[in-house]
């Protein structure tokens, strides 16, 4: 089932606007629903809601229907923003 990234972004923005603890729970749940990570793993890896937002932006690029070169160009263009997220993920899986 393809993910509607516009709806996903809207949901994430709404969740971030809510209280910190509830936000953490909802964000972890939303991210774990589209990854192989559990809610607890998401909360452990990305305790700051802004990092979860960056992760969703990165995932949106990776899962888009664009060709590989366009995806790479977008990731490179946002390398500073995504650097910490990529390092966290690679540390988890390496």
Q: Given this model, what pLDDT does residue 22 score?
A: 64
Question: Model-level pTM greater than 0.95?
Answer: no
**What gap in Å lies between CA 47 and CA 31, rounded to an integer?**
12
Beta-strand (E) ranges in the chain? none
Q: What's residue 18's pLDDT? A: 65
Residue 1 has pLDDT above 70, yes or no: no
Q: What is the mean pLDDT of residues 5-30?
A: 72
Whole-number Cα distances in Å, 76 to 34, 55, 65, 88: 23, 15, 17, 17
Q: Mean pLDDT, to the nearest integer, of 31-38? A: 77
Q: Where are the domains of the chain?
A: 5-93
| Candidate ranges 4-8, 26-30, 44-48, 64-68; pick with highest mean pLDDT | 64-68
Using the predicted structure, report yes or no on whether residue 29 has a pLDDT greater than 90. Answer: no
pLDDT digits (tens, 9 = 90+) for 67-87: 999 999 999 999 999 999 999
């Amino acid at each position: 089932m393809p993910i509607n990234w516009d709806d996903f972004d809207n949901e994430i923005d709404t969740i971030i606007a809510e209280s910190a603890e509830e936000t953490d729970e909802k964000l972890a749940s939303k991210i774990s629903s589209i990854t192989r990570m559990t809610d607890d793993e998401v909360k452990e890896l990305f305790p700051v809601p802004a990092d979860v937002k960056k992760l969703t932006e990165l995932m949106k690029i990776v899962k888009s229907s664009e060709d590989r070169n366009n995806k790479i160009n977008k990731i490179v263009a946002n390398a500073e923003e995504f650097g910490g997220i990529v390092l966290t993920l690679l540390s988890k899986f390496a």
